């Protein structure tokens, strides 16, 4: 990827480095990486995949 990504993490993570970071992609998708190992690559999700994930989170699909 030629364009630098602006990575961010949740404000809930505080100073803890054990979290995921997310970057917006030009096509509306998202990139997700492990903050402990940022040079190990990232996962890419399309805008539709990301929307489905967020919808599932809001609906409680991942609650235990």
* Confidence band of 12 (pLDDT split at 50, 70, 90): confident
Average pLDDT of the chain is 90
28 vs 19: which has the higher pLDDT: 28
Number of compact structural domains in the chain: 1
Asked if residue 53 belongs to a domain, the reply is yes
pTM of the shown model:
0.80
In a domain, 63, yes or no: no
Question: What distance in Å separates the CA atoms of residue 6 and residue 63, rounded to the nearest whole number?
Answer: 29
Backbone torsions φ then ψ of 8, nearest 5 degrees: -145, 155
Tell me if 25 is assigned to some domain. Answer: yes
Q: Is 1 contained in some domain?
A: no
Per the listing, tokens 């967020």 go with 54
Nearest Cα to 38, choosing from 20, 15, 13? 20
**For 24-53, how does the pLDDT look when each residue is reduced to its tens digit (9 = 90+)?**
999 999 999 998 888 999 999 999 999 999
Residue 42 forms part of a structural domain: yes
Identify the domain containing residue 38 by its residue range.
Answer: 11-58
């Amino acid at each position: 990827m030629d364009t630098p990504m602006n990575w961010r993490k949740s404000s809930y993570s505080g100073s803890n480095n054990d979290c995921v970071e997310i970057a917006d992609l030009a096509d509306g998708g998202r990139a997700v990486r492990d903050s402990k190992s940022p040079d190990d690559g990232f996962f890419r999700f399309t805008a539709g995949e990301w929307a489905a994930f967020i919808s599932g989170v809001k609906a409680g699909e991942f609650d235990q």
